[in-house]
Amino acid sequence: MPDVNYHHLYYFYAVAREGHLTRAAEQLNISQSALSAQIRQLEERLGQTLFERRARALHLTEAGRIALEYSETIFTTGSELVSTLKREGLQRQALRVGAIATLSRNFQLTFLRPLLGRSDIEIILRSGSAAELWDALIAMQLDLVLTNQAPETDALHNFITHTVDEQPVSLIGVPEMLGEATTLAKRLRTQPLVLPTRSSGLRRGFDALTHRLGVVPQIAAEIDDMAMMRLMAREGVGLAVIPPIVVKDELQNGKLIEVEQLPGISEIFYAVTIKRRFQNELLDTLFTHKLTEAINQVRQIDCIYDKQMNS
Yes or no: say if 24 and 16 are a contact pair by the CB < 8 Å rule.
no
Residue-range domains of the chain with CATH = 6-86 (1.10.10.10), 93-165+270-310 (3.40.190.10), 168-266 (3.40.190.10)
pLDDT for residue 302: 40
Segment 132-161 mean pLDDT: 84
Helices and strands, number each (H, E), in the chain:
11, 10
Closest CA to 286 of 109, 115, 116, 65: 115
Percentage of the chain surpassing pLDDT 90?
Answer: 29
pLDDT digits (tens, 9 = 90+) for 33-56: 888 898 899 888 888 899 888 777
pLDDT digits (tens, 9 = 90+) for 221-231: 999 888 899 99
Pairwise CA distance, residues 69 & 47, whole Å: 17
Please report the sign of the dihedral spanned by the C-alpha atoms of residue 141, residue 142, residue 145, residue 146.
negative
In three-state secondary structure terms, 171 is strand
292 pLDDT higher than 80: no
